Amino acid sequence: MLASGQVFNDTKIELRLLEIPQAVPALEGVKMELLDCAFPALANVICTGDPLVAFKDADVAILVGGFPRKPGMLRKDLIQANTKIFLSMGQAINQVASINIKVLCVANPANTNCLVTLKQCAGRIPTSNFCAMTRLDYNRASAQIALKVGVEVSDVKNVIIWGNHSATQYPDAVTDGYVENQWGGKIPLSKTLQNETSWLQNNFLKTVQGRGKEVMNAR
């Protein structure tokens, strides 16, 4: 999506791919595939295991490289493992990246990882330049609302996910959520779901919180 121009339109980009050192040779295969696609917006691809090289003068950083949670692993262990990773990335961003860099943190727990990263850049890069993306949970919540209300999921807007991607997150459909009709009108979900308090606090909440586990069990 970055290389094809879907994200930054026709702006030419230099794509820096950061990996752990032992995985950089495999990353060269990804570079070959990108070059083979002859993407019009892709000016250059750099594969590296050095954060100082990856973030040098960078305008945008998308942080997807978190430590994966393994079976039996406690959440605090996951956070400790990721803290080391995002400390180092935050320090490198603060040291060599553009002062106007926009940082999107995707790796879970996204909110915590984002906070760890931005704390390393305090005083140099504005905190408003950092964002944690819990898009999967947002999509899950929006899909459940669409099914319940009987509308297209693209018409469900402004659902909120409070907290990290976990079983303690709180999907919130009614504070700012609304359904957009075909004439551009906005129908608040607080009105549409005013008689569905029990569903919102039970089925909806539990489905979004535990969806990943449900999917794995089903498959």
Distances (CA, A) of 124 to 121, 169, 174: 6, 31, 37
Element (H, E) at 26: helix 24-36
According to DSSP, the residues that pair with 172 across neighbouring strands are 160
Instruction: Pinpoint the alpha helices (H) of 71-163.
Output: 75-96, 110-119, 135-149
Report the C-alpha gap between 179 and 152 in whole angstroms: 9
170: its two tokens: 């709180």
Among candidate residues 16, 140, 148, 165, the one labeled active-site is 165
Contacts of 188 (CB under 8 A, 6+ apart): 174, 177, 178
According to DSSP, the residues that pair with 63 across neighbouring strands are 105
165 in catalytic set: yes
**Which residues are known catalytic residues?**
165
